[in-house]
Structure 1
Amino acid sequence: MRIIGGQFRGLHLAPVGEGDAKAHLRPTSDRVRESIFNLLINGGFGDPISGARVLDLFAGTGALGLEAISRGAARVAFVDDGAAARALLRRNIELTRTMGVTDVWRRDATRMGPNRGAGYSLVFLDPPYGKGLGEKALVSCIEGGWIAPGAMIVWEEGVAPEIPQGFEMLDQRRYGDTLVTLLEAPE
């Protein structure tokens, strides 16, 4: 697993092997991550990455958020309640030397509570597949004020997710067993 583009291009992240099923670690493959960022950059959505405040839910290794920083995001907040995931995430933050522009929160992404700061303009959502956790996380984030009006949501699932009311689907593409759905948050 490595950073695909930007200032950290080619940097190898901490190895996770085939993932950790018990810890629900299923890292986004380099190929899928590259496809996601190509879609964000070349999909006609403007530039949702440069200067963005990013929320990486079910962050796991943090590869999506770190890729965003590598490509110009201003700050990333990583949310994961798993100890194994947070240990890998902290290692990857050390490898990229991004301690000053990242936050790591031990929190259940489906129960975020109120946000005390500004909303996030780019949200990565990569929950364990088939458990309905993505839907719960989005509702929790909207209720808590975590998502900025008009924010871009990048949602990875195994099957088409139930899109919460008010969100607009911008694109949806399948990469192997991963279905990537791009949404725009309500204004």
Structure 2
Amino acid sequence: MYKELKTLEEIRIYSDPYRIQIMNQFQKMGRPATVKEIANSLHEVPAKVHYHVKKLESIGLVSLVDTKLVNGITAKYYEPFQGQIMIKKSEFDETVQQVFLSETQNLLNNLFEESKKRFLLANQGPTPTGTLMNHDIFLTKDEAKELTDWINQFCIKHQNNDTSEPRESYEVFFTMAKGQDPEHSHKNKKEPSSP
């Protein structure tokens, strides 16, 4: 499942570092949660979190999935989008394209910074738990899509800790971009060496 961010407003809404924290907190819950639950876990005021949840809801990254009457108050349960979030470059003029690129870079910087903080935190103790990998691989477009779909489905499958087996929480941050190395872009074959 994919969600495409197509407009500057959508990218601005998602790229806010505080909203990224809210999305991460919803993911950690592993179940639909109320704004109050998210606010409590972030040690924040519910009104502040509610404002940002409404912004995320407006672009489909958070959805209202249930309501319950609790002590005379309607509790609203939200769930985060379960899938890949992609940025689609639309037909903008050159000026708007520059702003679009700037907002996209802002979003990526915020995502990388949040992931970096969590990675460094995981490696501060006596037993480091973070794993970092960097590989150049050669794939067809279909294989690249298959890989991202598989990772996404694997993460969704293991989002909830609802088994009797003891499990630990791991944070996964995955990026994949088409390489720009001109030496390898045409062929993946070695030329025969001359005698």
Question: What's the TM-score, normalizing by structure 2?
Answer: 0.22
Question: What's the TM-score, normalizing by structure 1?
Answer: 0.23
Greater helix share, structure number:
2
State the structure with more CA Rg: 2
Higher RCO, Cα 8 Å, sep 6+: 2
